């Protein structure tokens, strides 16, 4: 595999269990060593390129000097890609696609070829991509410094707890992965999703959080949404788990112009909060 280290954007491939897996990389120029890496996972039905447009992490990467890697899931065609999150309705789960091995290899590749800082590797995901982030954090916690999930809840609560810091964003009007749990009215998979409350409780206990602080930031844009910020702290007063509830928000990436343009299918995108800024601010506080 070859790539141009002086290029800001390029694609590359890895062969995993006889499957060719493609990913996209955005790195600010000039290339330097020991940058942080965010691996950003798309939701069902789009690919890594669309994820880059959807969340627009590249702009913040250029401003704040980190690398973003966008992997592609697997599926019958490029616009129906999915992740193996353990849900039986997923193509990737039915065909036992080894996404865990894929991500482990991506991390190794990034350390070798991009010279990223092994102690600052972060995961972020939308919807099923967020669910996958939680799965990966549980399975390879020593390699993940922190995780961000937007509109994706924890799937399995039976595993031993792992103390990986978590930031989560979720709209109360999400019709795909409901805030209160259960089946989403617009979800084609008809999966029974866990609730945001149960997800946060699990991660708070895993991170040995002892108390919680709640804030309601000021509304600056009248778009029908408002924000509730809940921080779960440990005995050292460190914010280990952070939840942003978007009142009246849909299945959306807060602050995303692309997400806002898809309001007819995804619901309302809040402009009173920019997920990218909050994610990066949270990630900067945590290292392996």
Is pLDDT at 279 greater than 90 in this prediction?
yes
Is pLDDT at 91 greater than 90 in this prediction?
no
User: For residue 265, how many other CB atoms are within 10 A of its CB?
Assistant: 10
Give the whole-number percent of the chain exceeding pLDDT 70.
93
State the average pLDDT over residues 257-266: 75
Q: What is the pTM of this model?
A: 0.94
Confidence of residue 1 (pLDDT cuts 50, 70, 90): very low
Is pLDDT at 250 greater than 70 in this prediction?
yes
**Using N-to-C axis directions, what is the helix angle for 48-55 and 57-64, rounded to 10°?**
70
Is pLDDT at 226 greater than 80 in this prediction?
yes
CB 209 within 8 A of CB 234: yes
State the average pLDDT over residues 75-80: 75
- Domain coordinates in residue numbering, the chain: 9-283
Q: In what order do the strands lie in the sheet with 67-71?
A: 9-16, 19-26, 67-71, 37-41, 121-126, 146-150, 166-171, 239-247, 226-233, 211-215
Residue 89: per-residue pLDDT: 65
- 233-240: long-range pairs with CB below 8 Å, 24+: 233/209, 234/207, 234/208, 234/209, 234/210, 235/208, 235/210, 238/285, 239/282, 239/285, 240/163, 240/165, 240/166, 240/204, 240/207, 240/208, 240/209
Is pLDDT at 28 greater than 60 in this prediction?
yes
CB 217 within 8 A of CB 207: no
Instruction: Give per-residue pLDDT as tens, 161-174.
Output: 999 999 999 999 99
Is pLDDT at 245 greater than 60 in this prediction?
yes
State the average pLDDT over residues 146-159: 95
What CATH code would you report for 9-283? 3.40.50.1820
Instruction: Give per-residue pLDDT as tens, 95-147.
Output: 777 899 999 999 999 999 999 999 999 999 999 999 999 999 999 999 999 99
* Rounded alpha-carbon distances, angstroms, from residue 99 to 45, 74, 136: 16, 9, 9
Query: Rounded mean pLDDT of the chain?
Result: 91
């Amino acid at each position: 595999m070859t790539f141009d280290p002086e290029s800001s954007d390029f694609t590359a491939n890895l062969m995993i269990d006889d499957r060719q897996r493609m990913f996209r990389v955005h790195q600010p120029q000039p290339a330097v060593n020991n940058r942080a890496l965010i691996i950003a996972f798309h939701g069902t039905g789009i690919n890594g390129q669309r994820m880059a447009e959807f969340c627009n992490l590249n702009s913040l990467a250029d401003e704040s000097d980190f690398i973003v890697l966008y992997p592609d899931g697997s599926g019958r065609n490029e616009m129906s890609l999915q992740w193996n999150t353990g849900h039986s309705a997923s193509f990737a789960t039915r065909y036992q696609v080894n996404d865990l091995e894929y991500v482990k290899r991506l991390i190794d590749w990034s350390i070798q070829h991009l010279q990223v800082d092994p102690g600052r590797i972060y995961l972020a995901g939308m919807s099923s991509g967020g669910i996958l982030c939680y799965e990966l954090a549980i399975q390879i916690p020593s390699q993940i410094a922190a995780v961000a999930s937007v509109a994706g809840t924890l799937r399995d609560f039976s595993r031993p707890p792992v103390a990986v810091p978590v930031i989560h964003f979720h709209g109360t009007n999400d019709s795909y992965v409901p805030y209160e749990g259960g089946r989403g009215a617009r979800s084609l998979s008809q999966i029974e999703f866990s609730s945001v409350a149960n997800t946060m409780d699990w991660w708070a206990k895993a991170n040995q959080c002892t108390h919680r602080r709640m804030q309601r930031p000021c509304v600056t844009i009248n778009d029908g949404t408002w924000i509730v910020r809940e921080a779960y702290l440990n005995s050292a007063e460190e914010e280990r788990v952070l939840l942003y509830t978007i009142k009246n928000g849909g299945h959306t990436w807060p602050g995303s112009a692309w997400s806002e343009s898809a309001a007819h299918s995804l619901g309302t995108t809040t402009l009173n909060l920019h997920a990218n800024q909050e994610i990066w601010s949270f990630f900067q506080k945590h290292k392996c």
